[in-house]
Amino acid sequence: MLHDESEPIAIEALRALLRSHGISHTKPQVWPSALAHTDLSKRDDYVFVLEDVDVSLFTAWTRARALLPETAMWPFLLDWNEGDTDLHFGQLSAWRTGCDNVDIAQWIKSEQHALREDYPGEHIMEQLLGEWPEDPIFSYEEYARREKFSFETIGGRYGSKVRLGFAPVREGWLLAPWMGFGGWNDCPDPAHHGAMLRHWETTYAAEVVFWGSDTVECWASSPPTTREAALALAWEQYTYCADIVDQGTETVSLLAAGLLNNPRWFFWWD
């Protein structure tokens, strides 16, 4: 069942609404396709998927996001095909309470304690912090994006097509618990995904734009504007997704410099 008083829009009504707001596309699909001819009004185990939108992907998402009060469905861009992943839609009931039980500050503290235990005597936190870079844009361009999301420059993972999806949830932070994303390698489980993304939505007005097979990208309307705030956020992001530092910026300070006044956030799990 839906976890909101509003029922999501029907697929043909969604198609007409999007066209009336300048988002033309090929015929929308229902995933799983086995539900294509099923009454979906009381279900939440499906997603509507649109291909070949005739505007830029971020423009399509922005327009679709503005229509949330009418659609009651969260828009997100995706780069996977039906059946490509182990995702199972409609898991919100199983994970929603878990999101409420996550203590963000304690999670960060526990992860940092574990690092010190794993690397005793190596001053691991100081090494991770590093020094504030003089020119973060040119020092590490990938993590200091100012103009483009990754899906706008390289498309989906391994060149796959990027589509516009609509999930029967009203908030972007609910996507992970709704589809059971995470819990493999160092990728957080669905409850921790939801808790951290909700925290950032509250603190930075950060909303999920893209959810790929191993990548998440957000738009933060109120990104950090000071070095202190950017460093605090960078430690949170390192807790959430260590790979963006361990296999990316190499230091938390360089990640923080890229987050300063930057609304585009990128996460990737190996």
- Nearest residue to 177 (alpha-carbon basis) of 194, 160, 162, 165: 194
Q: What angle do CA 132, 134, 139 make, to 5 degrees?
A: 95
CA–CA distance, 81 with 53 (Å, rounded to integer): 16
CA–CA distance, 101 with 195 (Å, rounded to integer): 8
Cβ–Cβ < 8 Å for 49, 164: yes
* pLDDT for residue 153: 75
Q: What angle do CA 72, 47, 80 make, to 5 degrees?
A: 130
Environment class of 84 (CB within 10 Å of its CB; exposed 0-12, middle 13-18, buried 19+): exposed
Task: Note the helical H segments in the chain.
Answer: 11-20, 57-66, 68-71, 92-101, 104-118, 124-129, 136-139, 150-153, 175-179, 190-204, 227-240, 243-244, 252-259
User: What is the strand order of the sheet 74-78 is part of?
Assistant: 29-31, 47-50, 163-167, 74-78, 206-211, 215-220, 264-268
* pLDDT for residue 154: 66
CA–CA distance, 215 with 269 (Å, rounded to integer): 7
Quick: pLDDT tens for 58-91: 999 999 999 999 999 999 999 998 888 788 999 9
- Nearest residue to 262 (alpha-carbon basis) of 136, 146, 139: 146
* pLDDT for residue 137: 55
- The stretches in the chain having pLDDT less than 70 are 1-5, 136-147, 154-159
* pLDDT for residue 116: 93
* pLDDT for residue 145: 53
* pLDDT for residue 148: 79
CA–CA distance, 130 with 218 (Å, rounded to integer): 25
CA–CA distance, 252 with 264 (Å, rounded to integer): 17
- Counting every residue, how long is the chain? 270
Which residues on adjacent β-strands are paired with residue 163? 78
